[in-house]
Structure 1
């Protein structure tokens, strides 16, 4: 296992995997489901401009998916519960010559009351089989949105995810780190105490790191920065930035922290705090697919990402419908690295 490692997201991809929204508790009626499918399709089409995309669809949904996705997106039919491929799909790792797929235990983001996972818990293996790669099964309850790596030995984790009572209540921090390092080829874990406030409500993941912080390159980490003192993430984001600035990575480099201002909107139509975040972007071949929110800070975030990735096109896709269901663009995509 130790010869395998998870490459950084900015390395070349073979393809992107996604899952098609199906009727489930996340989408409360036909209108919400239809809106979700439009949103998922907009992300798939944006990514498809730069690399192949394969979408897992539930039996019977292929015709409707094809109409929205177009003819150049590959479809495979498997039973599904939900549509968050980052979390239900495998984490691909490589030994330099071949790929393998880590199959974490998936239990509905900590066995939440509303979640269903009978089918989703098998999707990682289905994707690995379709990709023709070996499966490495892990006993750790974990999701792809709960980890972020720099490709050089460092991994970001969150106390309320890997150590949360609904996921791994019997595991110690040291045991979690040992298992994560064994599967991802990492050597140093940096722990954040929690996620964004909105991620603990209905349909929240209870603290996924990929909405809080993400490596942009080795030694450089992006962090969500809420600018309004009235929002509960104002203090949280300052905690994250301070904690990360005090850290070194696995290679001993002090981390450069780049704060990305949150969108200006603070609450949704129901009056709940939003966790809108530009950190939840997706890097594909030649592009940054960036969440947009019809917000004044969209342009500011785009400029930050253009400066960080001058050789990539920054493509903004409206992510408000995806966030309303509990995640963002990174949450619905999963990269298969090129070998």
Structure 2
């Protein structure tokens, strides 16, 4: 009989965090100074996490010297091919069996460059799920559904948050219905209730966006509670996104905890999607995005309140968001089945 799999919450005990090191392309860019800024941004997240639990980083042979120089010596490196460095999306989603003997498994989503976007390459990244599964010495749960880890979030009790513009994206899953997506989520990650939100934040629909990932919009700190990106500036297009997202979540009976957007609303490229929702939960800590912004302290206090007993460790996330994501986007947690 096939195991039934369940995705634990991010607050569950963790064995390690998986990351990928920027291999080049738009993430590093052509300017040596900007490339170093990107490398240091990735390193800051890995080095913050490794103080609390093991960290494994995939890296290309060409970038290994840079990774070795910038990463804490406790970070474990694995040389492989990569197109990009957004481990939440290119890597697997870890699940555990629901039987009496807990078994770890890795859901190997089909990855196609966030809906086959014209600038993306993914021949190497499409193999990362199985690479990580092999390194973690765990079985693979195969699927034909195109998805990314940043496109779903769970409370660990079978409720999942997703957006229509990601999982029903014609560039990802042409012809798929909600029912088919929900059935596949039930089979692979144990979804019992799927809450569909219509879209994500505005910037995420730009050229290098994901077309609406949930992990910069909303996240479960605990069952029944949702942290939600709260854009308070009425001129920002995400002001309306926040309003109808809150209504949709409350309609589902969830307690919404507004996590304010930073005071800054624009950068050189237009409306920002800076989000404190895109944080990383690990053993004894939360790695929080900060933006040298007046709202940083308020967001930090809210995170400390909803994650009692965990230290809030801030990293400057502006270089990450300038490249299309945040701290959560570049990490993937591996549950510790011995403590579940």
Do both share a fold (TM > 0.5)? yes
1:26 aligned counterpart, secondary structure: helix
Cα distance between partner residues in 2 of 1:206 and 1:194: 8
1:198-237 matches, within 5 Å, as 198-237=203-242
After TM superposition, give the deviation of residue 73 of structure 1 in Å. 0.4
Name the CA distance, whole Å, in 2 between partners of 1:37 and 1:201. 23
| TM-score normalised according to structure 2 size | 0.96
In structure 2, what is the Cα distance between the partners aligned to 1:142 and 1:221? 22
1:39 to 21, 33, 41: 41
Superposed CA offset, 1:50-88 (max 9, x none): 000000001232222011002110000010000000000
Query: In the alignment, what sits opposite 2:180?
Result: 175
SS in 2 for 1:207: coil
* Residue 95 (structure 1) aligns with: 97
| Equivalent runs, 1:239-278 vs 2, <5 Å | 239-247=244-252, 254-270=253-269, 272-278=270-276
The residue matched to 1:25 in structure 2 has which SS? Answer: helix
Partner of 2:324: 326
Q: Tell me, which stretches of 5 or more residues in structure 2 are unaligned?
A: none
Work out which of the residue numbers 158, 162, 168 in structure 2 matches 1:157. Answer: 162
Q: Is the 8 A contact 1:146 1:210 kept in 2?
A: yes
Tell me what 1:306 maps to: 304
Q: Check the 8 A contact 1:41/1:69 in 2, yes or no.
A: yes
1:174-194 per-residue CA deviation (whole Å, 9 max, x = no partner) reads 001100111001111000100
Q: Distance in 2 between the 1:77 and 1:226 partners?
A: 40
For 1:196, the equivalent position in structure 2 comes to 201
**What stretches of structure 1 move > 4 A for 4+ residues in a row?**
none
Does residue 123 of structure 1 match 2:107?
Answer: no
Asked if residue 75 in structure 1 is aligned to residue 77 in structure 2, the reply is yes
Return the offset for 1:2.
Answer: 5.5
2:68 matched to which residue of 1?
A: 66
Q: What CA distance in whole angstroms lies between the structure 2 residues aligned with 1:303 and 1:316? A: 12
For structure 1, the 5+ residue unaligned runs are 248-253
Look up the match of 2:13.
12
Given candidates 50, 53, 64, the residue that maps to 2:52 is: 50
Q: Tell me, in whole angstroms, the C-alpha distance in 2 between the residues paired with 1:27 and 1:54.
A: 20
The two structures, once aligned, show a CA RMSD in angstroms of 0.9
Deviation at 1:31, TM superposition (A): 2.6
Q: Which residue of 2 aligns with 1:251?
A: none
Contact preservation (8 Å) 2:150, 2:214 = yes
Distance (Å, rounded) in 2 between the aligned partners of 1:186 and 1:172: 16
Paired residues of 1:140 and 1:168 also in contact (CA < 8 A)? yes
Specify the SS of the correspondent of 2:70.
helix
- The count of corresponding residues between Structure 1 and Structure 2 is 332
8 Å contact kept, 1:260–1:279 = yes
Deviation of 1:4 (Å)? 1.1
Does the 8 Å CA contact 1:25/1:115 hold for their aligned counterparts? no
